[in-house]
Amino acid sequence: MKTNDYIKYMTQTIVKYVDQPKDERRRIRLEKKQRKASFWYRWFGILPYILYSEIKRGRK
């Protein structure tokens, strides 16, 4: 990607972000946060996450 293309892309991205209403930016940020995988899954993989969730479910 050439420098001019990159600058054009960044400018368009920034203008798009600034033009959005504040409430919509907040809503998009919250949606991204909710889609994010949990701590256990991100750091240790699926097996420890399953074990942790089973132990947690057994205590309730």
Span 7-36, pLDDT tens digits: 999 999 999 999 999 999 999 999 988 887
**Per-residue exposure over 24-59, b if at least 16 CB sit within 10 Å of its own CB, e if not:** eeeeeeeeeeeeeeeeeeeeeeeeebeeeeeeeeee
Residue 17 CB-half CA count within 13 A: 9
Residue 32 CB-half CA count within 13 A: 6
Q: Is the pLDDT of residue 59 over 80?
A: no
Domain that includes residue 38, residue range:
3-59
Residue 2 CB-half CA count within 13 A: 3
The total of structural domains in the chain comes to: 1
Give the pTM: 0.47
